[in-house]
Amino acid sequence: METKKIKKEKLSKMIVPAALSFAQLSVIWLMIIFILSIFEVIYNGIAHELPRNVASVLGWSFLNDLVFWFKGLIYFFLVYVVLHLISAKFARITYCVFIVFIAMVQLSLTSYFTTAMVPLGADLYSYSMADIKQTVGAAGGVNFFQIIGFIVVTGGTITALWMLPARLKINRFVVIALPVLSFILFVTDAQAMIHPGNFKSDYANNLVINKSDHFWSESYKHFFPSKDELDIYADSYINDYDNGATSKIAAFKYTDPTHYPFLHSDTSPDVLSPFIKGNSTPPNIVIVLVEGLGRAFTNEGAYLGNFTPFIDSLSGKSLYWKNFLSEGGRTFAVLPSVLGSLPFAKNGFLALGDNMPSHVSLLSLLKYNGYHTSFYYGGDAGFDNMSTFLNKNSIDELNDGKSFPAGYTKLPAPNGFSWGYNDKELFRHYLVTRDEKATAPQLSVVLTVSTHSPFAINEEDKYLARFEKRLTELGYDEAKKNECRNYKLQYASILYLDDALRGFFNAYSKRADYNNTIFLITGDHRMPEIPMSDKIDRYHVPLIIYSPMLKRTAQMSSVSTHFDISPSLMSYLQHNYKIKGPSLVSWMGQGLDTNRNFENIHNYPLLQTKTDMIDFIMGEYHLNGDNLFKLNAELGEDPIQDEGKASQLKNAFDQFKKKNEQIVTGNWIIPDSIHQHYNPVKH
């Protein structure tokens, strides 16, 4: 008995110093985390603006920091004790190196958030190394001030870990309590019980998130998906996501859901003929996809102010949807959504690369009907596998940065990187290479790039001056002007794009084919680098359909999305020009809603990033994760508590995920017979 007692005392003498040393270093780590959170709020306040309720934001930030710190403490404690039994010095050095590393990661993630305005998660793993290099390079890489920040944080963290532990007196109760509380947090999943403050500003909601916690948690889910996540595809769910849960929502009748989960009869109504007259020959179609064009700063009623005077004037001569939504929060979703009305698969349809299942799109269907198809982009079309998608749809011409001849100007590249050619040059290249007297009708898709981070544009001084003039035109007082000046480069690039479109339409109006052309303009997503007001704001973009063939103009307050564009265009062309298409299609969209009053007759998922499919709209409701919002007539939203409605949306969302998973695991979108018939081989 005495021998056991001696052993216990010896073990206690070894563990207690280890636990004390661990507690001292851990408390210093927590202090560093708090300091980094204060820095994050101040840094974003300088780069953007301080949130209105800054004290509350800091309070919730500290709470999230505390949860992050506690979550892993039990694991680190056990490892530390084992290492301490081997060598006390080695244990301290190892833990200190780990803390320095975590601090560097936190600072990097803060820097990313300040630039992108969204926390970085597992979407990092969905990009190729080439895509990451291009994005980081075009964004300016690591600048001087960031390097200084890393040096200061590294030096400060090392100094604190070196000098403070010996001076930090910690009660033995606290030493014991830390790993115990961490263990309790782990076994009870107390984090799930903490509902963070739901601020009105999405910027504030994102600011309070501990960026390291978010990144590591999302990374873990990415590589080790839980059984619960996989169970959403179980067969126990009933009702379909488009089952007409509200009386106005039409349901698709799927023909073979076991093998082709999205295949259904083409029932898209022709809603455009009442507005667009028919000519003797099929019209040219030009689809302009504008990088970052959000409704927040576009057209009358934009809550950030109208910084697109030409687009606004064009909208008044057009069919204009003011409550329109993109299907993705990044550019990766725009081509499959607009041109193919295609499901997302796991990380966006483009991420499937060469494994994209057989499908048809507006490109392949119109090419089958004698159209000449082309794509124009000032950057590298290989980014996000765009060129793979286009070639699989037998594009006739793929014009990107590699195909521009000499004599064209690229966007500035202060750090040696550039997204490619500016929008004015992009439109000029289009006009030079498209034959206005061509006998075959044309379908052209133009994707702009000048309004992409880092917002380095040609003629910068001119458009910064134009920005200042616009602030005065909008009647802003000095306080409002200063608030907008935090994003002067973003707004200058928007004004630049607006001018580029003005020049494009002025030049096009002089072409022989102008009177037989239909133009569509929409954003690929809302620019995230200007803080967003709410969750739906990320997807809120305008849709403008303009043509000299218009019988009348109209402004629609009803909600539609990118999914609805191709079904409506095909229906119009089939009705007026005997364009042929398959009777069975896989369109996700049901067609554009032309109701002038506010309504949403659609049930659609939205993909925030390549790994964050957390948004679903049904009628006037929006589900974001576990949070339910109700949409208003201006497509703003307010959080509501309605368990019945939330369950209804979750059930419908789960049903979409179940169908979507079938695409991921190898099922088809359309039968090969349809694909081979309507997807002609590229010459």
Do 216 and 299 lie in one domain? The reply is: no
Look at residue 245 and tell me whether its pLDDT is greater than 50. Answer: no
- Determine the Cα–Cα distance for residues 180 and 192; give it in Å rounded to an integer: 19
User: Residue 319's closest CA among 290, 289, 363, 277?
Assistant: 277
**Alpha-helical regions (H) of 73-210:** 73-86, 88-116, 129-138, 144-163, 172-188, 202-207
Per the omega criterion (within 30 degrees of 0), is the bond before 196 cis? Answer: no
- Cα 583 to chain center, whole Å? 33
Q: Which two tokens stand for residue 213?
A: 């916690």
Neighbouring C-beta atoms of residue 360, cutoff 10 Å: 25
Do 185 and 328 lie in one domain? The reply is: no
pLDDT at 237: 35
Mean pLDDT of the residues in the chain: 87
Last residue of a domain, one of 192, 208, 224: 224
Number of domains the chain is built from: 2
257 inside domain:
no
| Residue 121 contacts residue 112 (beta carbons within 8 Å) | no
Do 217 and 159 lie in one domain? The reply is: yes
What tens digit of pLDDT does each residue of 134-145 get?
666 655 555 666
Do 503 and 440 lie in one domain? The reply is: yes
Instruction: Taking residues 268-272, report their average pLDDT.
Output: 94
Instruction: Taking residues 56-76, report their average pLDDT.
Output: 88
Do 321 and 372 lie in one domain? The reply is: yes
Instruction: Place 620 in a pLDDT band, splitting at 50, 70 and 90.
Output: very high
Instruction: Place 84 in a pLDDT band, splitting at 50, 70 and 90.
Output: confident
Q: State which residues form the domain around 93.
A: 2-224
pLDDT at 586: 94
Q: For the whole model, what pTM was predicted?
A: 0.86
Do 448 and 577 lie in one domain? The reply is: yes
Do 219 and 268 lie in one domain? The reply is: no
243 inside domain:
no
233 inside domain:
no
**3 state DSSP class of 177:** helix
Helix pair 2-47, 172-188: axis angle to 10 deg? 70
pLDDT at 118: 81
76 inside domain:
yes
* Residues whose CB falls within 8 Å of the CB of residue 466, separated by 6 or more in sequence, listed in order: 492, 495
Instruction: Taking residues 669-679, report their average pLDDT.
Output: 89
Instruction: Taking residues 602-612, report their average pLDDT.
Output: 92
Q: Which of 63-67, 199-203, 518-522 has the lowest mean pLDDT?
A: 199-203
pLDDT at 681: 63
| Residue 585 contacts residue 308 (beta carbons within 8 Å) | no
Do 389 and 510 lie in one domain? The reply is: yes
Do 215 and 329 lie in one domain? The reply is: no
Higher pLDDT, 683 or 388: 388
Last residue of a domain, one of 195, 224, 253: 224
201 inside domain:
yes
Do 653 and 522 lie in one domain? The reply is: yes
Instruction: Place 450 in a pLDDT band, splitting at 50, 70 and 90.
Output: very high
Kind and range of the H or E run holding 368: helix 362-368
What tens digit of pLDDT does each residue of 530-567 get?
989 999 999 999 999 999 999 999 999 999 999 999 99
Cβ neighbourhood burial of 234 (10 Å; 0-12, 13-18, 19+): exposed
Do 211 and 274 lie in one domain? The reply is: no
Instruction: Taking residues 334-347, report their average pLDDT.
Output: 95
Instruction: Place 246 in a pLDDT band, splitting at 50, 70 and 90.
Output: very low
Last residue of a domain, one of 163, 194, 224: 224
Instruction: Place 425 in a pLDDT band, splitting at 50, 70 and 90.
Output: very high
Share of the chain above pLDDT 70, in %: 89
pLDDT at 231: 42
User: Residue 547's closest CA among 277, 268, 269?
Assistant: 277
Largest CA distance in the chain: 105
Do 415 and 545 lie in one domain? The reply is: yes
What tens digit of pLDDT does each residue of 299-331 get?
999 999 999 999 999 999 999 999 999 999 999
Q: What CATH number is attached to the domain comprising 315?
A: 3.40.720.10
**Alpha-helical regions (H) of 559-681:** 565-577, 643-664, 672-678
189 inside domain:
yes
pLDDT at 233: 37
Q: Which of 469-473, 596-600, 677-681 has the lowest mean pLDDT?
A: 677-681
237 inside domain:
no
* Residues whose CB falls within 8 Å of the CB of residue 607, separated by 6 or more in sequence, listed in order: 327, 328, 329, 333, 344, 348, 613, 615
231 inside domain:
no
Exposure string for 134-166, b = 16+ CB within 10 A, e = fewer: bbeebbbeeeeeeeebbeebeeebeebbeeebe
Instruction: Place 236 in a pLDDT band, splitting at 50, 70 and 90.
Output: very low
